[in-house]
Amino acid sequence: MADVIEVGAARDDAPPPAGHPRRRGVTERGHRATPYLFLAPYLVLFLVFGLAPILFGVWISLHQWDLQLPNRPFIGLENYRDLFSSDSADYADWWSSVRATAIFTVLSVPLLVVVPLGLALLLNEKFPGRTFFRAAFFAPYVLGVAVIGLLWRFLLDANLGMVNRLLGAVGLPADTPWVTDVPWAWVSLVGVTVWWTCGFNAVIYLAGLQDIPAELYEAARVDGASAWDRFRHVTLPGLRPVLLFVLTTTILASANVFGQSFLITQGAPGEQTRTVVWRIVDEGLRNYDVGQASAMSVLFALMLAVVSIVNFRLFRYRED
Amino acid sequence: MIQNEMSRRRLLGLGLGLGAAATLTLAGCGGGSSSDKSTAAGNGGKDYTGPKVDLKLWNGFTGGDGDIFKKLVEQFNSEHQNIAVSVITYEWQDYYSKLPGAVTSGNGPDIAVMHMDQLATFAARGVINELDDVAKALELSEGDFAPTVWKGGLYHDKRYGIPLDMHPLGLYYNKGVMQKAGLDPNKPPTTKDEYTAALTELKKSGIQGFWVSPFQFTGGMTFYSLLHQWGGTLFDAEVAKATFNSDPAVEACTWLVDMIKQGFSPANVGQDADYLALKSGKNAFNWNGIWQINDLKKSPSVQWGVAPLPQIGSQKAAWANSHNFTIVKQRAANENKVSGSKVFINWLSQHSLDWAKGGQIPARKAVREGAEFKALPEISALAPELEYAAFPPAAPGLGEVMTTFYNSFNEAALGKKSPKQALDDGVTKANKQLEDNRKKYGS
């Protein structure tokens, strides 16, 4: 509130625009309402599609809630307790899906942060065919997960797939179970995801790189800085906000992995590659236990919130 | 894939698809007579004389035989001036997720096609209506259907589904591959001895003849069939306890997993790889659903045949499921729509021979025993299996329990656990899920 009034007051001090004499009261009211009016469209959307469903979800998670069953008894924290007590039917599935999601996130995020950065540095250089390569690396990202999922499932098939055949042709083992056994399934899922989405992060880096003033590089060069020094002391600091953005969105995107394991490994072996989002979808839409699914969502959101806060803290620390 | 009855093979295969969502509307001639003769519950589907009704029908028939369903509905609409049925198609996987929400919000269909094993869930959840009066008015009884199919439509002794068709697992064989190994391509194996003898011959020619998939489609359903062949069951009679770790179940699972150990199947068979290998001449035998017949017919270069499953265990058995018609409860009950729906179900049930051409075995005995059905060689070849088909049990909320069952097999087939260990672990988990279901649905 205080900020808003301050802004309004500051504006009042400014001379009125020529040719627009204004009546004080009306304008002041107008000033006060203006930020809210500008905010209103988003605020309405946020309330209706953001905040309200979140609160409703929390409410549902405290009930034994089923879309059709008539009674939806309030059961307090029982849905949450189920996720923490080892004798419930949901316990093992839930924590195995958290484990799967954690493995995927820890393996994929570093690659999805570093590989696109290298790619962006290369694509930022001037060389013939640069536009072509920029398009080529971005291209997989425009494909849907169903397309890349089916494509890679067949390419990676242990017995019929192209990947094993090529490996065999160059004398490497040709029977690696890429999609039916761990750790190979993780290699496949992470590899496919990097191939699929690294173009997106690269484009964001590229935009960030082009924002770094060329004079800084010139000055560094004049001072005798090597290529590594220029990267370390000019490029990286210049990219810090972009890095934070890329890191945060990539962690969230990786934690929400669903389609890749659903289509490529189908959870195999057993349920070892079934992820949290898959688990939630199953619980809510296939078992119709919306209460339990909401409890899972809330818990998962809290986990991700903690990770994001740590992430922001780390970057702020560096700035100090 | 989603390890339950609605997974991709089913989506691809079973479908009478209408591509995406085809909607047919037939401009009826405004046949609504002013005198409303319809009785409170209709007359069970014999006829409908009330004002014109528009009915929405949902199905999951996204496969190649969808046009047949569409034509049947068109024919029905042209014969019934006061009933106009429009069809909406979703993939089965989406279908069962969408249906509860649509019904709750009042946007659901009037008629819904469902798999037999889903009936109990939707009946217990109050989504669908009882249909005992339809069966009575149409004088349908167990004798008109295969008994297992007819009983599958019951939940708590009340009828909720009118069976339309049945789709069992069959033995698909690649004749070219059999010939290569010196086997008679017109005599697929029917017993355990013949089966292992054939596999041994194939192995001598360097062919792994029976690719065992670790996934529900098709390895899980193969194991399901074998478990019943060994005399086991998945659950006890009340579906209160899981029994798929019994001795017969473990023996059946061990036999199947040993196929991999003995080199009759490669390890780590991927989803669909078993079937693709059959088509491309790398695999000789694949236990797969009846819905693959139409797909194989599209590949004239493949020399193939289909036969009832060989008897490996102590008795014959084959996995099977069935499509049923159901009538969906509406928030605002409309007796005319219910009556019209019943007329439609009765009519289509009687016209199910055309459906057979789409790759299903008609549920009605009279149709099944007619000369026209027998003239469909591949499909009628699997009809004998109905005597001993093992349909999934009727209990609400069984979907996730079946997922547990198929995942147990997955772990055994991928060698992550011994068959005994995998099935024991699966049963422990399944029992907890069954316990939860009991609390949720009562009973």
Cβ neighbours around A215 below 10 Å, total: 8
| pLDDT of A9 over the 90 cut | no
- Encode pLDDT of A144-183 as tens digits: 999 999 999 999 999 999 999 999 999 999 999 999 999 9
Report the amino acid identity of residue A185: A
Query: Looking at A82-91, A182-191, B145-154, B183-192, which range is the least confident one?
Result: B145-154
Q: Average pLDDT, stretch B328-342?
A: 88
- Closest Cα partner for B320 from B268, B387, B254, B263? B387
Q: Which residue among B101, B267, B417 sits closest to A67, beta carbon to beta carbon?
A: B101
Shortest Cα distance from A266 to chain B (angstroms)?
A: 5
| pLDDT of A74 over the 90 cut | yes
Mutant choice from B268, B272, B402, B440 vs A, greatest count of A C-beta within 10 A: B268
Q: Which residue among A160, A161, A181 sits closest to B414, beta carbon to beta carbon?
A: A181
Distances in Å between the Cα of B81 and the Cα atoms of B57, B254, B336 are: 17, 59, 14
| pLDDT of B14 over the 70 cut | no
B154 interfacial to chain A (CB closer than 8 Å): no
Shortest Cα distance from B354 to chain A (angstroms)?
A: 32
Contact yes or no for A286 and B2 at CB 8 A: yes
| pLDDT of A113 over the 90 cut | yes
- Encode pLDDT of A95-112 as tens digits: 999 999 999 999 999 999
Residue percentage of chain A with pLDDT more than 90:
78
Residue A99, token pair as written in the block: 């484990």
Contact yes or no for A158 and B267 at CB 8 A: yes
Q: Which residue among A66, A156, A269 sits closest to B414, beta carbon to beta carbon?
A: A269
Q: Which residues of A touch B (CB under 8 A)?
A: 64, 66-70, 87-89, 92, 153-154, 156-161, 175, 177, 179-181, 262, 266-271, 282, 285-289
pLDDT the model gives residue B36: 35
Q: Which of chain A's residues have a Cβ under 8 Å away from the Cβ of B404?
A: none
pLDDT band per the 50, 70, 90 thresholds, residue A20: low
B267 interfacial to chain A (CB closer than 8 Å): yes
Q: Which residue among B101, B103, B414 sits closest to A180, beta carbon to beta carbon?
A: B414
SS3 B83: strand
The C-alpha atoms of residue B102 and residue B112 are separated, in whole angstroms, by 12
pLDDT band per the 50, 70, 90 thresholds, residue B363: confident
Beta-carbon contacts of B2 under 8 Å, excluding residues fewer than 6 positions away, are A262, A282, A286, B8, B93, B403
- Encode pLDDT of B229-275 as tens digits: 999 999 999 999 999 999 999 999 999 999 999 999 999 999 999 99
Say which residue, A32 or A169, is predicted with more confidence.
A169
| pLDDT of B372 over the 70 cut | yes
Residue percentage of chain B with pLDDT more than 90:
57
Q: Average pLDDT, stretch B203-213?
A: 96
pLDDT the model gives residue A27: 56
A266 to chain B: closest CA residue: B1
Shortest Cα distance from A153 to chain B (angstroms)?
A: 8
Question: Using an 8 Å Cβ cutoff, are A61 and A294 in contact?
Answer: yes
Q: Average pLDDT, stretch B134-145?
A: 82
Q: Mean pLDDT: which of A198-202, A309-313, B351-355 is highest?
A: A198-202
Say which residue, B54 or A8, is predicted with more confidence.
B54
- Encode pLDDT of B149-198 as tens digits: 888 888 888 999 999 889 999 999 999 999 999 999 999 999 999 999 99
B180 interfacial to chain A (CB closer than 8 Å): no
| pLDDT of B342 over the 60 cut | yes
Q: Average pLDDT, stretch B60-73?
A: 80
pLDDT the model gives residue B3: 40
The C-alpha atoms of residue B288 and residue B66 are separated, in whole angstroms, by 20
The CA angle A146-B217-B274, to the nearest 5 degrees, is 90
Instruction: Using the Cα atoms of residue A68, residue A70, residue A76 and residue A82 in order, give the sign of their dihedral.
Output: negative
B439 to chain A: closest CA residue: A64
DSSP B331: S
The C-alpha atoms of residue B329 and residue A197 are separated, in whole angstroms, by 45
Query: Looking at B345-349, B401-405, B410-414, which range is the least confident one?
Result: B345-349
pLDDT the model gives residue B369: 86
Say which residue, A27 or A63, is predicted with more confidence.
A63
* DSSP states of B136-182: HHTT--GGGB-HHHHHHTEETTEE--EE-EEEEEEEEEEHHHHHHTT
pLDDT the model gives residue A317: 62
CB-based burial, A80-102: b 16+ in 10 Å, e otherwise: bebbeeeebbbbebbebbbebbe
Farthest-apart Cα atoms in chain B, separation:
77
Mutant choice from A64, A264, A266, A272 vs B, greatest count of B C-beta within 10 A: A266
Q: Which of chain A's residues have a Cβ under 8 Å away from the Cβ of B400?
A: 282, 286-287
Helix intervals (H) in chain A: 2-13, 24-46, 52-60, 78-84, 91-124, 130-138, 145-156, 162-169, 184-211, 214-222, 227-230, 236-255, 259-260, 276-281, 290-319
Q: Which of chain B's residues have a Cβ under 8 Å away from the Cβ of A67?
A: 100-101, 104
- Encode pLDDT of A208-234 as tens digits: 999 999 999 999 999 999 999 999 999
Partners of B235 in the β-ladder? B242
